[in-house]
Amino acid sequence: MEEQVIVVDAEDREIGRMEKMAAHQNGGTRHRAFSIFIFDSAGRCLLQRRAGSKYHFPGLWTNTCCSHPRPGEETAAAAHRRLQEELGFDCPLEERFQFEYRAESEEENLTEHELDHVFTGIYDGLLNPNPQEVEAICHLTPCALEEKLAEHPEEFTPWFKLAVQRVLAAV
């Protein structure tokens, strides 16, 4: 069965549904998404390096988890589902803010045009990354993260670079 995303207007009101890959082609169609930033009790942010097999932005570092809710699925429920699917855990989440962005993945000729709901949480337990989704993980302090981002911005996904400063200011 083909995976679908929720097409939304600028106010995040559902206006339709679209096959996921089609929503990322021809300049991208605005759709609902979410990004999760998990911190441990020491304040370190859990990052993942996207698997090399991902359809866009493969091999780049990004926030803990990101994806799309399915039609009929609440965004928070989708966030919990994807934490389990990608990293093998779940924890309480708090929605912090939303933002809209557009980013080109030139190598794959795809475009992200998302209204992104950003969640944060705290988790100190075991991780079980799904190798089809996650190539590597690491925990970085906010200072180390900002340093790595400044030195090697090309190693990070576009949405991560747009959201990370607001997240660090909010937690």
What would the DSSP string read from start to end of 56-123?
A: SSTT-EE-SEEE-PPTT--HHHHHHHHHHHHHS-----EEEEEEEEEEEETTTTEEEEEEEEEEEEE-
Print pLDDT tens along the chain (171 aa): 689 999 999 999 999 999 999 999 999 999 999 999 999 999 999 999 999 988 888 999 999 999 999 999 999 999 999 999 999 999 999 999 999 999 988 888 899 999 999 999 999 999 999 999 999 999 999 999 999 999 999 999 999 999 999 999 888
Residue 164 domain boundaries: 4-170
Residue 146 one-letter amino acid: E
Catalytic residue among 66, 86, 112, 135: 66
At 150, phi and psi to the nearest 5? Answer: -70, -40
Could you give the CA distance from residue 100 to residue 68 in angstroms, rounded to a whole number? 14
- Catalytic residue check, 114: yes
Give how many domains the chain has, as a whole number: 1
Catalytic residue among 45, 65, 112, 114: 114
Could you give the CA distance from residue 101 to residue 151 in angstroms, rounded to a whole number? 23
- Catalytic residue check, 45: no
- Give the predicted TM-score (pTM) of the model: 0.95
What confidence score (pLDDT) does residue 106 get?
A: 81
Going from the C-alpha of 81 to that of each of 31, 78, 102, the distances in angstroms are 18, 5, 25
Is the distance from CB of 78 to CB of 72 less than 8 angstroms?
no
